[in-house]
Structure 1
């Protein structure tokens, strides 16, 4: 197993420089996020936490995935290992969009396998990028099996939605940019599906002494289950955020990153994800997919906060994360490939 290093992320940063959009950060209003119980031994004056949201949904193709896809294809271009058959990938949507975009940038063909449950908006965007779209099965795992068969038959270069060091390293460039913009950052909060974004962000964060809060839907908990089992295991996928976070099994790379100090696992309920997504629209007019709102839900959920002493291996699942006195936190809002019509609510007084 390749264990991702900060050197991998630095190499990716150099490789994709000027090929991706730098992340924009926006501070939340003071007091928007409640802090946890204050440590009685903390002698500093009481002060609110500072929270920023990283607007990574403004990235090319509408999600962070563009970073890993660009790093993957550019690395193979540099090595002379891009085949005539092009690249292929299985994806719930966002990774496929990113792969198709990066392939188009490099002038190569992309064949993308998606489950039939993928949102129509993502399928339409894929075709708009010139990808050959194949809808197969109802879960990501089934689309992946079809993709692997296609690669073996045609010689196409198989990319992966999350379980590849070049993909994870590309995702990790996001934390490098965040770290440069927020001196003294304490914590980064990130949603987890298969674990590519988490692996890259957590690896870079650990290098800089920043804690990582890994947030999953309660019923899409591949990383949390792997932490409890001590190995990657299959989980049931049943969440409103399953189209982007619905991996049945996390990667060994992600598990390794999650087992390091300073990583905390949080599970949030679907209703909290919906509430956080609606809040982003109501207060910021930001329309994001449910997977992107999952990270924010960890800070807005009213349930049991994480026990910092248990370092991501809680006796029972933590349901929220409460920043400490004066803590600097950045929440990654990672994708916006969604149908926004359910966000726009016309209230009676607006008629």
Structure 2
């Protein structure tokens, strides 16, 4: 993967303008991060419920513009939010989308994907087995793997978040972003570094691919065991994300599941915001003291997804 440049991100912003929903940014209440000024980027309001729609729209639009989209279209097989984003973006341009999921895939996910126009093929006991079927399909038909075909385009699409954040909030000092495989992190860090904004990358203690890579100065596999693994459960960080973390002197922090759970519930109980555990991870890291802001520091938090089951959230009336 090549790191997206600021120029790539500006191009992506122009390309997806009018396709994605504009970012809503709101000031956080004083109880969220005492002593600092907090701003919440409500990207969970995006199409398909997560930031993935931005990168997917940029990828599909670029391939269609360059006449390099194959007739067989896209294949997705992550079993996560990325699949929803790619299928939604494919539908915008009338591009075929085929999704391979394990037989145990949640019925709600299958229904949503089919509702967006995807052909969903169920097979295999695990998502890894479903992905093997996806590779065989790509080899046979010429369809492309949406997730890996051009990671620079998807990361650049995610980076457009920052342009909208700084348009809404002037003089941001810091942006806190949850880190999974590193696509959103790479795009956000590229844009933020160009604009002179510090980046804090937050991960669960049980899924810290970036944190471990920085300690080892190399990409390596990590064990994944976290409440937020459904969205931040990458076994290894993208190499470009590690490069950006070093280049931009990113502060990498980790936070325990208990704090992530508590922060997600706080967002609902006091603010009526429902997000995934992964989306609450950045705010949880600061509330737990993993990153100590300076007095009056102006901090933006990206609440990046809300594809979650709200049944375990307490209701306080």
Q: Any conservation in 2 of the 1:141–1:248 contact (CA below 8 Å)?
A: no
Query: Which SS does the other structure have where 1:52 is aligned?
Result: strand
Give the direction of change, closer, same or farther, for the CA distance of 1:207–1:22 in structure 2 (3 Å limit). Answer: same
1:128 maps to 2:115: yes
Measured in 2, the distance between the counterparts of 1:112 and 1:287 equals 27
- 1:338 maps to 308
| Residue of structure 1 equivalent to 2:22 | 22
Shift of 1:72: 0.2
Query: How is 1:173-252 mapped onto 2 (pairs within 5 angstroms)?
Result: 173-252=160-239
Conservation of the 8 A alpha-carbon contact between 1:162 and 1:194: no
Q: Please state whether the residue corresponding to 1:259 is helix, strand or coil.
A: helix
Aligned position for 1:42:
none
Instruction: Identify the match of residue 273 of structure 2 among 263, 269, 286.
Output: 286
Check the 8 A contact 2:58/2:157 in 1, yes or no: yes
* Residue-by-residue CA offset, 1:212-243 (whole Å, 9 max, x unaligned): 11111111111111112222111111111111
CA contact (8 A) 1:4 1:169 kept: yes
Q: CA deviation at 1:326?
A: 1.2
- TM-score, with structure 2 as normaliser: 0.94
CA apart distance, 1:124: 2.3
Q: Rate the CA distance shift 1:163–1:232 in 2: closer, same or farther, 3 A.
A: farther
Note closer, same or farther for the CA distance 1:119–1:331 as it changes in structure 2 (3 Å cut). farther
Residue in 2 that maps onto 1:8: 8
Q: Hey, what does 2:55 align to over in structure 1?
A: 68
1:87 to 2:74 alignment: yes
Contact 1:162 1:168 in 2 (8 A): no
Identify the residue that residue 295 of structure 2 maps to in structure 1: 325
Q: What is aligned with 2:258?
A: 271
Secondary structure of the 2:241 match is helix
Residue by residue over 1:226-277, the C-alpha shift from the partner in whole angstroms, topping out at 9 and shown as x without a partner, is 1122221111111111111111111111111111234111111111111111
Larger radius of gyration: 1
Structure 1: gaps of 5 or more residues: 35-47, 306-319
Is the alpha carbon distance of 1:53 and 1:216 closer, same or farther for their aligned partners in structure 2, counting shifts above 3 Å?
same
Unaligned runs of 5+ in 2: none
| Residue pair 2:122, 2:130 contacting (<8 A) in 1 also | yes
Judged with a 3 Å threshold, the aligned counterparts in structure 2 of structure 1 residues 184 and 168 are, in CA distance, closer, same or farther, namely: same
Summarize the Cα distance change of 1:175–1:139 in structure 2 as closer, same or farther, 3 Å threshold. farther
Q: What's 1:151 paired with?
A: 138
